[in-house]
Amino acid sequence: MRILVLGGGGREHAIVASLVASPRVAHVYAAPGNGGTAAIAENVSLPVEDGAAVAAFALEHAIELVVIGPEAPLVAGVADDVRAAGIPTFGPGADGARIEGSKEFAKEFMRRHGLPTGTAQAFSALEPALAYLEEVGAPIVVKADGLAAGKGVTVAMDLGVARDAVRECFEGRFGEAGSTVLIEEYLTGPECSLLVFTDGHTVVPMAPAQDHKRAYEDDQGPNTGGMGVYSPVPIVTDTEHEAMVAAMRAAVEGLAEEGIDYRGVLYGGFILTAEGPKLLEFNARFGDPETQVVLPRLEGDLAEVLLAAAEGRLADVELGWRDEWAVSVVLASGGYPGDYDVDMPITGIEAAEALPGVTVFHAGTRLAEDGTVLTAGGRVLNVTALGHDFSSARDRAYEAVALIDFDGVFYRSDIGAKAQRGRDAWQV
Ligand code: GLY
């Protein structure tokens, strides 16, 4: 099979790594890919949000499956154009991707289908939004409606921060994405990501994972795209897991009822409240960095799974999850999630990967002409380790992290630590 993967982060490196391991796969292109995909696939330069250009490339290169990693091409409708060209595509069309592209749409969808979630109200003008904040008080969550590269959500512990967040949206900080604002109930509890494969009918849940979104130790500092992750998630009870799976099945049924032919990953971002799991958000794609711990645990052929989902026959494939633990630590550029420098030479990746069970997924890297791996983004590497239990996976991941270096590198040293202390660690 010849496959084109769109995207260039750690998620896409993990997807490409699983695809090239399949005996069915002859060639993988990554657009644009990164320093990691360059070593195992062919990186190509393509305008990934231009559906016509992606379809033309796919036809010209006899691509048999297109896999869309990031949200922006999904929301732009790239999957629609590629499917219209007759090529199986893993990823929803623009109608399905609205579940991530509009927080207001997602919240109304959750309400229409009775899915568990917090209360929220949408506003398209500043004054009514500010008046609502006075009415409900803090803590409260302010969300820009559209895609904002992970920066559109403010968890405001006081009203001043909430008011500033609302003003920033309406003053255009996120462009059109902030022209509608969702003000949402603040919920407390541990978060858990539950992703499912679906062809629009059959739903195959993946292993749960827990991301660490704040930049600094002990969940302090600004929100990021994710600083580390582990799977499975021992603090989730069987009852909670069943409730999350039921909500995801109901969501896929809801999409089908609304006439949306959804083929790809549906990502449920849950918070485990005292009243049970509630949905914070949906994403229309694999999570990043969740994918970097979930796919290494997949027992089965990812190429077969993705093609079956794209072709509407997911019920035909079998997959399972290795009885191993995976922990992934993000190495970031100094200054991330704010401004940071790039082009720092990275050392130690080979030594880290020589450790048993360790894989270093590249996120923001590129290869210099002499083969040196250079930093090229905020989140640079995802150092991932498998182990027979949580402690051994964590210890291995951090042993590998210690071998890698670049100017300004920073990472959290507490990935998975809270979960190892148990559920009480989330009590405030
Ligand atoms: N890990 C968060 C996300 O993928 O959106």
Average pLDDT of the chain is: 96
**Structural domains of the chain ordered from first start:** 2-93 (3.40.50.20), 125-179 (3.30.1490.20)
Note the pTM of the prediction, 2 decimals: 0.96
Q: How many whole angstroms from 369 Cα to the centroid of ligand 1?
A: 32
154-191 pLDDT per residue, tens: 999 999 999 999 999 999 899 888 899 999 999 999 99
- Cite the DSSP H helix spans in 258-372: 291-294, 302-310, 349-353
Q: Label residue 94 by pLDDT band (50, 70, 90).
A: very high
Name the residue with the closest Cα to ligand 1, atom 5: 287
Tokens representing residue 105 in the block? 């749409």
Helices (H) and strands (E) in the chain, counts: 15, 24
298-326 pLDDT per residue, tens: 999 999 999 999 999 999 999 999 999 99
Name the residue with the closest Cα to ligand 1, atom 3: 287
Whole-angstrom Cα distance, residue 20 to residue 280?
A: 34
Q: In one letter, which amino acid is 270?
A: F
Ligand 1: residues whose CB is within 6 Å? 211, 226, 283, 287-288, 290
Name the residue with the closest Cα to ligand 1, atom 4: 287
Q: How many whole angstroms from 291 Cα to the centroid of ligand 1?
A: 9
SS3 annotation, 90-130? ECCCHHHHHHHHCHHHHHHHHHHCCCCECCEEEECCHHHHH
Q: How many whole angstroms from 238 Cα to the centroid of ligand 1?
A: 23
**Which atom of ligand 1 lies nearest, measured to the CA of 289?**
1
Q: How many whole angstroms from 320 Cα to the centroid of ligand 1?
A: 22
- Candidates 206, 270, 290: which one to mutate for ligand 1, based on the most atoms within 8 Å of Cβ? 290
